[in-house]
Amino acid sequence: MDWKSILDQLEQGTIRAAEPEGDTWKANVEVKEAILAAFREGRNVNYGGIYDGFVDKHNLPPRMFDETDGVRLVPGGSSVRRGAYVGKSVIIMPPAYINTGAYVDEGAMIDSHALVGSCAQIGKNVHLSAGVQVGGVLEPVGLSPVVIEDDCFIGAGAVIVEGILVKKRAVVAPGVTLSKSVPIFDCVNETVLGKGAPIPEGAVVVPGTRPSGNEWAKKQGLAINCPIIIKYRDEGSDASLELENALR
């Protein structure tokens, strides 16, 4: 299957750059290879028209939407690149960017200055608050991208990279960084999740610190940032995260 056909199917949502497999997700190697092929074959052009002065690959232009798509793309500098899927009732506030191969499911909110990287998977009714950075992964092709499952809330300025999986209904507080180099401390179950471990379903994750392992650093009172699970979602946390229907 050629890259043009795969990019079309990505936009239609009939194929994805990653698919659920049991309790985890697996990258679709064929899709990621096709995206890389599109980059290799693309040539830089000035798009002209309303995009005059912008130069990028000729075969990966920004997507255009109309009322029948059911997407609300608010004016002000946002862009959805060719090969990205955006479901109905998604709201994209300016400026935001959704890159090639990404999948943004129905009812999601992509707030100002939010980035959805290449091949990242965003579930139904996910809220990416202002300044959230969801990293993309094209290479190596077998590596799963960042996945944020249905009904998650990601607070302002959070950074989620390196193929981290955030399970359903989890809450990531403002300023949290999730990557494969940092362990996660679960204060509810009194355990340490391994580096790169999935964020459990319904977990509420806040930024924290842990003492530095270096003796000199300990003497200086230095600490290292780390994510901490302080609770799991309940009725109170659900109420505080409810979106105003008027925004829709």
Distance CA 194, CA 203 (A): 15
**Per-residue model confidence (pLDDT) at position 50:** 87
**Per-residue model confidence (pLDDT) at position 139:** 87
**Per-residue model confidence (pLDDT) at position 151:** 97
Residue 16: CB atoms within 10 A of its CB come to 20
Inter-residue contact 135 to 146 (CB < 8 Å): yes
Walking along the chain (248 residues) 10 residues at a time, the average pLDDT comes out as 94 97 94 96 94 94 95 96 98 98 98 98 98 93 95 98 97 96 95 94 96 87 94 77 56
**Per-residue model confidence (pLDDT) at position 247:** 56
**Per-residue model confidence (pLDDT) at position 73:** 97
Residue 244 lies in a domain: no
Task: Say which CATH number the domain at 89 has.
Answer: 2.160.10.10
Residue 135 lies in a domain: yes
Query: How many domains, in total, are found in the chain?
Result: 1
Residue 44 lies in a domain: yes
Classified as helix, coil or strand, 218 is: helix
Residue 200 lies in a domain: no
Return the closest-CA partner of residue 123 out of 165, 83, 81: 165
Residue 41 lies in a domain: yes
Residue 147 lies in a domain: yes
Residue 243 lies in a domain: no
Q: Which residues of 123-137 are buried (b: 16+ CB within 10 A; e: fewer)?
A: bbbbbbbebbbbbbb
Residue 236 lies in a domain: no
Distance CA 80, CA 128 (A): 15
Return the closest-CA partner of residue 196 out of 179, 209, 175: 179
Containing domain of residue 159, as a range? 3-181
